[in-house]
Structure 1
Amino acid sequence: MNINGLIEMAWSDEATFSDIEREFGIKEPEVKRIMQSNLKPGSYRLWRKRVRWIKEKQKKHLKV
């Protein structure tokens, strides 16, 4: 598995967990574990904050 490609895709604003699953065959909980084990703690927290923000943004966009 290309860990660097997975991390790059996970950091992308455009990629969703569904996109990652299609590309790598890995579900959201496993992506989170991989990110946590490969990023520094502060970087992981920043990534999780970003993911939550993007999910909220997408929910609001779908409601409109």
Structure 2
Amino acid sequence: MERPTEELDRIVEMAWEDRTPFEAIFRQFELTEKEVIRLMRRELKPGAFRRWRKRVQNRPTKHEKLLPKKEPRFKSTRQKSISHNQIT
């Protein structure tokens, strides 16, 4: 099944982000890590793909199970609550 261009762009963007784990991409787009790698190989130029692979290999932030268990991030009392990309 061919994905819309906007969806492909979002997957590539999420894969490039350091703090977006592969599990988040799976939850949103149902793509496994192997499928994301295959998609990135197809969508990126060869040099960009090599830089991306070097960058994400062994990066703890790309795998939820490798992330250290920490306290919840600080949230200002002035910060609005956001759910499903909608400001509540």
Question: Normalising by the residue count of structure 2, what TM-score does the alignment of the two structures yield?
Answer: 0.61
Runs in 1 of length 4+ with deviation above 3 angstroms? Answer: none
**Where is the helix percentage greater, Structure 1 or Structure 2?**
1
Please list, as runs of the form range in 1=range in 2, the aligned pairs for 1:1-64 lying within 5 A after superposition: 1=3, 2-55=7-60, 59=66, 62=68
**Where is the strand percentage greater, Structure 1 or Structure 2?**
2
CA RMSD, aligned part only?
2.1
Q: Which has the higher contact order (CA 8 A, sep 6+)?
A: 2
Distance 1:9 1:20 in 2: 7
Question: Normalising by the residue count of structure 1, what TM-score does the alignment of the two structures yield?
Answer: 0.82
Query: CA offsets per residue over residues 28-50 of structure 1, 9 Å max, x none?
Result: 10000000000000000000011
Query: How many residues of Structure 1 are paired with residues of Structure 2 in the alignment?
Result: 61
Q: Secondary structure at the match of 1:31?
A: helix
Which stretches in structure 2 are left out of the alignment for 5+ residues? Answer: 69-88
Look at both structures and tell me which one has the larger radius of gyration over its CA atoms.
2
